[in-house]
Amino acid sequence: MPKLKSCSLGRVVRRGGREIEMFTTYVIQNENGKKYIGFTKNLEKRIGEHNDTEGKKRGWTRSRGPWRLIYKEEFEEKTEALKREKFLKTGVGREFLKSCELESAIAEERSKNGRVAQW
C-alpha cells in the first residue's frame, strides 16, 4: 500500500517512488439543503474559503453558509476531477448524488436502531 503524506498544497500520494498530487471533486451542502459542486487541490482550505464570511473574496457560497462536506472523490489527474465535477452537475450526476444520500440515510438509521426505517 502506498504511503500517504500531507502537503501544504493538498494531498500527495507516493507511487513508485514519486509523489502524485491529488485533486478532489467535492459536494458541500448548507443548512437549507443547497448544494455546491466543485474540485480543488486542497479540500480543507477550499471548504474554509466557502465558509469564510469575513474574507474579501465574493462568491455564491460565502453568503449562503455554513457548508459541510457531504461527498468527495479523489483523482490523480486534474482533468479527471474536472470531468467528474461536470458529470455531477448533470441530471444523471444529481440523481447519483441523491442515491448516495439515500444510502447514507439508511446506513445512519441502521447504526442508530439496528434496522432500516420503513419509507
Q: Are strands 4-7 and 23-30 parallel, antiparallel or unpaired?
A: unpaired
pTM: predicted TM-score of the whole model, two decimal places? 0.74
Q: Would you identify the CATH topology of the domain 23-111?
A: GIY-YIG endonuclease (3.40.1440)
Q: What are the extents of the domains in the chain?
A: 23-111
Q: What is the DSSP letter of 89?
A: T
The model's pLDDT over 57-111, given as tens digits with 9 standing for 90+, comes to: 778 888 888 999 999 999 999 999 999 999 999 999 999 999 888 777 777 767 7
The DSSP result for 3-69, as a single string, is: -EEEETTEEEEEETTEEEE-EEEEEEEETTS-EEEEEES-HHHHHHHHH-SSSS---TTTTS--EEE
The model's pLDDT over 24-61, given as tens digits with 9 standing for 90+, comes to: 999 999 999 999 999 999 999 999 999 988 877 778 88
Identify whether 2 is preceded by a cis peptide bond (ω within 30 of 0).
no
